[in-house]
Structure 1
Amino acid sequence: MSNITLGSLSYISCEELAEQLHASPLAPSFPSNLAIIDVRDSDHVGGHIRGSTWVPSNELDYKTPELVRNLKDKDVVVFHCALSQQRGPSAALRYLREKERLDPGSKSVTKEGEEIKEGGNKEDGGEESQKVMVLRGGFTQWQEKYGPDKTLTEAWQKDIWEFGY
């Protein structure tokens, strides 16, 4: 049984994430150490965060092990849905638990920098901790602030979001 709970999750604000995207030495390209996973379903229509990967929540059961393997070299993995109240946090929790199951010695950082699993860091030959976070307010809050910004949002359609979620 895993000791990772919803209370263990860290959150990142839209402003903090946008700052990371703009501050990247690769800007306007997506930072190579960051992954954003969008777990919205049919509500994915109308735009998405530039460079994000769409994995509908109904596909997470079989795609989570693949995500863990594909994202192992990322320093930060951010999950979100429309509001980041259910699907986003659940996906982050599922990801952390699967990561723990596949590699019991791995480390992940949760809320307030607490490590979930013990392990080494790069100085003592181990792996660096991966931060797994949830986007506070989800895409709804993101698009309110950054929808029209083509450097941060792709395929945004104002008429879909005009009256909110």
Structure 2
Amino acid sequence: MSSITIATLPRMSRDSLSALLSNSTPSKLAIIDVRDSDHIGGHIRSSIWVPTSSLDVRLPELLRTLKDTEKVVFHCALSQQRGPSAALRYARERERTFGEEEGKKQEVYVLEGGFVQWQEKYGKDERLTEAYVEDIWHEY
């Protein structure tokens, strides 16, 4: 059984992710957005949208396509439930599929504060955020 838990999944700050996005090649970093209908109004540039409801179906595809990616960052709106849960399922399935040693070659993170905190600082930055609609986020 896997030793990975929600508590042991590392968190990544929005500033660290911003720096990685600015300096990494796409093959080294993947951002997985597991928001559902709350995906409307913007997303982190280059992120892959995998609504929570489709994660089980898309997990084998993600494992294949992200096999050699160095860092994978999951997030939802606040990264309190859906993001950490998806990251945990992905990390455990990766370990189960490829073995514990291979599983550890990839770093899996949860974005601290999710898209809500991301958009507070980087929402208007078109280099980092796509399709941003400020009015949708104004209430946050």
Q: Into which bin does the TM-score normalised by the smaller protein fall?
A: over 0.9
Alignment partners' CA distance in 1, 2:40 and 2:66: 25
The 5 A counterparts of 1:147-158 are 147-158=123-134
Letter in 2 for 1:62: V
Alignment partners' CA distance in 2, 1:21 and 1:134: 15
**Normalised TM-score (structure 1):** 0.81
Alignment partner, residue 130 of structure 1: 106
Larger radius of gyration between Structure 1 and Structure 2: 1
Letter in 2 for 1:9: L
How far 1:107 moved relative to its partner?
A: 3.1
Alignment partners' CA distance in 2, 1:84 and 1:107: 22
How far 1:98 moved relative to its partner?
A: 0.7
The 5 A counterparts of 1:88-103 are 88-103=83-98
Alignment partner, residue 84 of structure 1: 79
Alignment partner, residue 137 of structure 2: 161
- Cα RMSD after superposing both structures: 1.1
- Tell me the secondary structure at the aligned position of residue 53 of structure 2: helix
Q: Which runs of 5+ in 1 are unaligned?
A: 109-128
Alignment partner, residue 115 of structure 2: 139
- Tell me the secondary structure at the aligned position of residue 7 of structure 2: helix
Q: Which runs of 4+ in 1 moved over 2 A?
A: none
How far 1:100 moved relative to its partner?
A: 1.2
Alignment partner, residue 7 of structure 1: 7
1:107 partnered with 2:103 = yes
The 5 A counterparts of 1:35-74 are 35-74=30-69
Alignment partners' CA distance in 1, 2:80 and 2:118: 14
Percent of residue pairs identical: 61
Letter in 1 for 2:21: L
Alignment partners' CA distance in 2, 1:64 and 1:71: 10
Alignment partners' CA distance in 2, 1:62 and 1:23: 31
How far 1:3 moved relative to its partner?
A: 2.1
Q: Which runs of 5+ in 2 are unaligned?
A: none
How far 1:69 moved relative to its partner?
A: 1.0
Alignment partners' CA distance in 2, 1:20 and 1:7: 23
How far 1:2 moved relative to its partner?
A: 2.3
* Alignment coverage as a number of residue pairs: 139
Alignment partner, residue 120 of structure 1: none
**Normalised TM-score (structure 2):** 0.95
